[in-house]
Structure 1
Amino acid sequence: MKRLTLLLAALAQPALADADGYHGYDHMMGWGYGGGLGMIFGPVLWLIVLGLIVAGVIWLVRRLETQSPAASSDNSALAELDMRLARGEIDAEDYAARKKLLTS
């Protein structure tokens, strides 16, 4: 019981140190929202951080959309084949043979 009392007394010391009032420091150590610049710039800082997070997510989604390797390479190859046929660079037989190779 004596040990428990000593342990509780030791743990209670920080609370008792400030029991009689102000000892030259406040609880926020001067960094509180007590009407200083923190009240003005605190929300602005959080808005900037939130904006950077949203911009990063948008950038990542756009980057992942443009890098679909299988679908975009197949579509671009077929589109190029269609353009070569339209320009007259290849004939219909060559077009059919190449399209068959691309789609299989």
Structure 2
Amino acid sequence: MLAAGVVALFAATFTVPEAIIHLARATAEDPVPLGPRAVTVTVLAVVFLVGGGLLTIVAFNRRRATEEPHPEDLADDAEFGDAPLRPFDPDRFRHRPGRAADDDGA
């Protein structure tokens, strides 16, 4: 399923630009009517892009849901708990390098 989704997304890289060109010509001030090729490419572009994206997302989530945790992850959780090893401190990133955190800039 994942391979089919990736192949469909790859095919979309060729059909979507051409579909955009055909749709832009059809909606211009001097419109060119959509021919059979333009309609076919536009429909295929939508199918490949939406279908490939959905197939890829579903396959990735199914694979991830059935994956067992790695033994090292289980050992870390048993030893340190489920919380992060070092708490995140957003203030650490708010200051420019080379300046002390308590420097008021004056």
TM-score by length of 2: 0.32
Which has the higher relative contact order, 1 or 2, with Cα contacts under 8 A spaced 6 or more apart?
Answer: 2
Bigger Rg, which one? 1
Between Structure 1 and Structure 2, the one with more helix by share is 1
